[in-house]
Structures are given as structure tokens and as C-alpha cells.
A and B are shown apart, each in its own frame.
Chain A
Amino acid sequence: MEAVYLTFVLMLSIYLGFELISKVPSTLHTPLMSGSNAISGITMVGAVVAAGMDASPLANWLGAIAVANGAINVVGGYLVTDRMLAMFKKKVAK
């Protein structure tokens, strides 16, 4: 049942993703990509569990490396997106 339930969540999310993204104008495609890329760093949540769980040290090490990579993805992704979006300005009336 678990598998069915998770697949259900997956399907709805994919549909929602299509709906949301197709409305983004091409001007913002680079920030969209780096911003959504940052969201894919969500895998860090899994990495945190792996790094902190009570298992063999090897699993924790794998988790720690995963946490580090996830953090690169998350922190770098959000910051660089913010840096880009800060540059998009409307014409100022002079």
C-alpha cells in the first residue's frame, strides 16, 4: 500500500510541476533552473538521516558526504539564484 500511496503523491506533484513551470517566462529560465536545482538539494534531508542514524560508521560517512554535497546544492543554488534575481530590474523612470 505504501508504494501506491507514494506513487500517488509522485503523480500529483509531477502534474503540479508542469502546471507551475510552464507559466515561467523565458526571461527567467536561468534563475528558474538554478532555483529548482536548489530544490533538488532536498535530498539533503535523506542525507541528514543517513549521516545521523545508528548504523555502521561507513553509512554515516556516506551520509556525511551526501550532506556536504546536498548543502553545496542547496546553499549554492539558493544564493546564486538570489544573486541573479536581484539583477532583474524594471525600467526606472528618469
Chain B
Amino acid sequence: MDMEIFINLTYVVASVLFIIGLKMLAHPDSARRGNIISGVGMLIAIIVTLLERQVVSYEYIIWGTIVGSIIGAVAAYRVSMTSMPEMVGLFNGAGGLASLLVGWAALYMTGNSTFTSFTIFLSILIGGVTFTGSVVAWAKLAEVMPGGAIVFGAQRLVNALILIGIFVSGALVTMDPSLNSPQFYVLVALSLVLGVMAVIPIGGADMPVVISLLNSYSGLAACAAGFAINNNVLIVAGALVGASGIILTQIMCKAMNRSLGHVLFSGFGAVKTASKIEGEVRPVSAEDAYLILEAASSVTFVPGYGMAVAQAQHAVRELGELLAKNGADVTYAIHPVAGRMPGHMNVLLAEANVPYDQLVEMDDINPRIDSIDVAVVIGANDVVNPAARTDENSPIYGMPIINVDKARTVFVLKRSMASGFSGVDNPLFFGENTRMLFGDAKESISRLVSQFKH
């Protein structure tokens, strides 16, 4: 059989495996097998490419694969679940850089049409933006650089100039795809700068959106690289990833009641004048909290990023088990943007052995929240802030929240009375039915656990 046809048929098989794998990811029971199926698709796609007529030497391929695989495997096994957003960000960046380089190398292939040159331009642009954007997102998440929005006066002007520069150099490269031309290097440099400029004005609380969006870009970059080297499997796989990233981005934006444009182009308005909240805070001791929990017949935990920081998830699971043994109905209510990436809390709780059928979504818990005896808020703030419902001046007004203030009793575990990530005051803390359990979240939970064991 003609080798070319064989390779392309194998690519079709690989694409089908990706699709089946993604489909199986839709349920926790089949998700793991789905991921393996998709991995098999990847493996055969890469192996069959070695048979490609153009591939004449293997040393570069072997060395690149060995080095990359070792780095990837070590990183995958060593990363903690708390820092998963950083890890995914870096993997995204690696994919983006690969697409940029594939686009670059495609310039060395002979007989490129104008359309191909145009897609080479796109693959360099999207790949470059994905690469540096991901690195900046990683730096913000890992707190290597300040997590807040970096905004300066002439930002829009500078960005506009960068975009103009990219389109001019891109057009020149498209029309004359000669190597080592100055416009080519300008294009590469500006694409990299654009990635940085695109992510620095985005504040830490918006990181779930950025990570999702960069995920989408990494797919689109692979797509563009597929056009550049005329390869179907890159286009199919890239488009699947691009679509998945866009859907996640939309979900995140919706969960924050903000448009994508607003997230991307305006730093989070923490300086807006929210109505000043005054009231009395009612602290509670672990002993009293225990008595209330002990009598509760339904308890829901509402975790936020603070739980990850305090590494409290294992203690929380232990408390949950004790409560369940005590006859209470225990659930974990998870807001779509809790944590630093979509689904982050779910992974942390899964790591702590919380069964996934106890994890409930915001839309499931809200209709029945007023029948919940105790809602325990652990390290979450904005996602349970009733100001989002009531205070039109609040910067988070309109954002859907978990209405814990409507539960019969709310415990808020909090280190002290500082405001949350977005710097917004939270009237929940002053609520009639709210009790503040001050101290480190992990210690507070552990104290409750030991009360139960007595």
C-alpha cells in the first residue's frame, strides 16, 4: 500500500481515538479509560509520522523525545494537586512554543503557497502568544510575580502598535516567506511580546478564565501548524482542544457574570466604591461549633482556594465522614470559579478521597440551600458573597453565588477579617445566622474532628 495513504489512514484512526477519548471524559467512571484511549491515539499518530517520506534522520527526533518525555513525566508525577493550574499553564506554554517552532521550521519546506505562508504566520502568532502568555500566567499563579492586574496609562496604545506591527510583518512574511528576513524576526518577537501584554492586565481572581483561554489558544496554534504543514490530524485535534478551551472559558465568564472582553481588557475593578458594610461579627468557638454540627442533619461544605492553601482538604474529608456517620447528609458545594482553574476544588477533594457523588454544583445546591442546617465555608469569599445579589455598587454585582447566607447556619472559617482576593467586603460575615470560626482552616477543622472523636 502507498505509504502516504497508510499514514493518513492512521491519522484518521488517531482522530477517532481522540474523539472517543474526549467522549469518555464526560463521566468519572469512564474518564480514566478515555484518557488512555486518547493517549494511544497520540502514540500511534507520532509513531506513524516516523514513516513519513520527508523524515530522513532520527537523531534529533530521538533526543528531543527523550528530553521532553523525561521533563514531562517528572513534572507530572511531582506536581501537587494544589499547583495543578501552574502545571497546566506550563504544559500549555510548551505546546504553544512547539507550534511556533513548527511554523518556523515550515518556512524551510519548499513550495509553500501563499495560503500556507499565511498559516505559518498564524501558527507563529498564536504559538508565540500561547507560549509567553502561559509563562506569565504561571508566574502569576506561582507568585513569582505579583498576581494583581498590571495596568499602565498607554497600555491600549502600546497594544494597538504591537498589533499593527504584527499584521504588517505578518503580511510581509505571508507575501514573501523568505528566511532570515527582518520582518520574520519582528513577527516572532512581537508575537512573544503580545502574549505578555495580553496576560499582565488580568488579575489573579480571573486566572481560571486565562488558563482556559490559553488552553484554547494552544489548540488553535496546533491547528494553524496543521495548516502550515498540511496535516489533517493536527487540524482535527487542535480544533477539538480549541473548542474545549472556548467552552470552559465561556463557563468561567458566565460564573463570574463578566464578558470575556471585560476580563481581557480591564483590570479587575477592586477600586470601585462598594457600599461600606458595617455590622457585628459573631465569633464561635470550636466547641460551640461542634455542638451545632453534631445536631445538624444536613451539612454542606463550600470550599475555596483558601482550603487548598491551608491544605485542609484531608481534614475536611475526615470531618465529613464523621458527620455522615453521625447521620447527617453531607455534600460539597462547588462554585464553578472556586480555585484557580475550572474544577480545581473537585480534584483536591478527590485527592482527599471524597467520593465524587458528594460533590454538587452551584445550580443543584442553591434551590435547596434553605433546608441545609449548616453550611461550612472554607477559604471561599467572593463565591459566597451576598453583595453579588444585593449591592449594585459591588464590583462582583450580578455574579452567581452559592447562597450560603440562606442556609440555617453558616460557619465561615477565616484566618482574620481581611477581605478576599478581589478586595471586596463580604456582608456574609455580618449575617444574623453567620458564625465566624477564626484561625487556620486546617487547625479549625482538626479541632472539630477531635471534638467528634471524644
* Chain A residues proximal to chain B, CB less than 8 Å: 2-3, 6, 9-10, 13-18, 20-56, 58-92
Tell me if B343 and A26 are in contact (CB < 8 A).
yes
* Chain B residues proximal to chain A, CB less than 8 Å: 18-19, 21-23, 25-29, 31-32, 34-36, 38-39, 42, 45-46, 49-50, 52, 54-58, 60-61, 63-65, 67-69, 71-73, 75-77, 79, 81, 84, 87-88, 91-92, 94-95, 97-99, 101-102, 104-106, 108-109, 113, 115, 211-212, 215, 218-219, 221-223, 225-248, 251, 334, 336, 341-344, 346-347, 350-351, 353, 355-359, 361
Tell me if A38 and B42 are in contact (CB < 8 A).
yes
Tell me if B54 and A52 are in contact (CB < 8 A).
yes
Given A6-B232, A52-B61, A70-B95, the answer on whether A28 and B218 have CB atoms closer than 8 Å is no
Q: Which 4 A-B pairs have the closest CB atoms?
A: A71-B68, A17-B243, A67-B64, A76-B72
Task: Give A32 to B351 CA distance when docked, in angstroms.
Answer: 16
Tell me the nearest residue of chain A to B65, going by C-beta.
Answer: A71
Task: Give A40 to B84 CA distance when docked, in angstroms.
Answer: 17
Least distance between A62 CB and chain B CB atoms (Å)? 4
Task: Give A18 to B52 CA distance when docked, in angstroms.
Answer: 31
Tell me the nearest residue of chain A to B234, going by C-beta.
Answer: A42
Tell me if A87 and B240 are in contact (CB < 8 A).
no
Tell me if B241 and A26 are in contact (CB < 8 A).
no
Tell me the nearest residue of chain A to B39, going by C-beta.
Answer: A78
Task: Give A55 to B25 CA distance when docked, in angstroms.
Answer: 40
* Residue in B73, B81, B240, B248 whose beta carbon sits within 8 Å of that of A75 in the complex: B73
* Residue in A40, A50, A58 whose beta carbon sits within 8 Å of that of B102 in the complex: A50
> 15 additional contacts, CB 8 Å, given A46-B99, A76-B91?
A6-B227, A20-B22, A36-B240, A47-B105, A48-B52, A49-B49, A49-B54, A49-B229, A51-B61, A52-B58, A59-B105, A62-B101, A80-B79, A84-B347, A85-B28
List, in ascending order, chain A residues with CB within 8 A of B334's CB: 26-27
Task: Give A34 to B115 CA distance when docked, in angstroms.
Answer: 32
List, in ascending order, chain B residues with CB within 8 A of A67's CB: 60-61, 64-65, 68, 98
Tell me if A79 and B244 are in contact (CB < 8 A).
no
Least distance between B16 CB and chain A CB atoms (Å)? 11
Tell me if B67 and A33 are in contact (CB < 8 A).
no
Tell me if B55 and A48 are in contact (CB < 8 A).
yes
List, in ascending order, chain A residues with CB within 8 A of B71's CB: 68, 71-72, 76
Given A44-B46, A48-B55, A90-B356, the answer on whether A64 and B239 have CB atoms closer than 8 Å is no
Least distance between B30 CB and chain A CB atoms (Å)? 10
Tell me if A14 and B242 are in contact (CB < 8 A).
yes
Task: Give A22 to B101 CA distance when docked, in angstroms.
Answer: 31
List, in ascending order, chain B residues with CB within 8 A of A56's CB: 108
Task: Give A69 to B357 CA distance when docked, in angstroms.
Answer: 37
Tell me if B57 and A92 are in contact (CB < 8 A).
no
Given A21-B22, A33-B343, A64-B61, the answer on whether A52 and B239 have CB atoms closer than 8 Å is no
Given A16-B240, A67-B60, the answer on whether A27 and B28 have CB atoms closer than 8 Å is yes
Tell me if B35 and A35 are in contact (CB < 8 A).
yes
List, in ascending order, chain A residues with CB within 8 A of B336's CB: 26
List, in ascending order, chain B residues with CB within 8 A of A10's CB: 223, 235, 239
Task: Give A39 to B46 CA distance when docked, in angstroms.
Answer: 12
Tell me if B35 and A70 are in contact (CB < 8 A).
no
Tell me the nearest residue of chain A to B58, going by C-beta.
Answer: A52
Identify which of B57, B336, B346 gathers the most chain A CB atoms within 10 Å of its CB.
B346
Task: Give A58 to B107 CA distance when docked, in angstroms.
Answer: 11
* Residue in B23, B46, B60 whose beta carbon sits within 8 Å of that of A61 in the complex: B60
Tell me if A89 and B356 are in contact (CB < 8 A).
yes
Least distance between B360 CB and chain A CB atoms (Å)? 9
Tell me if B87 and A80 are in contact (CB < 8 A).
yes
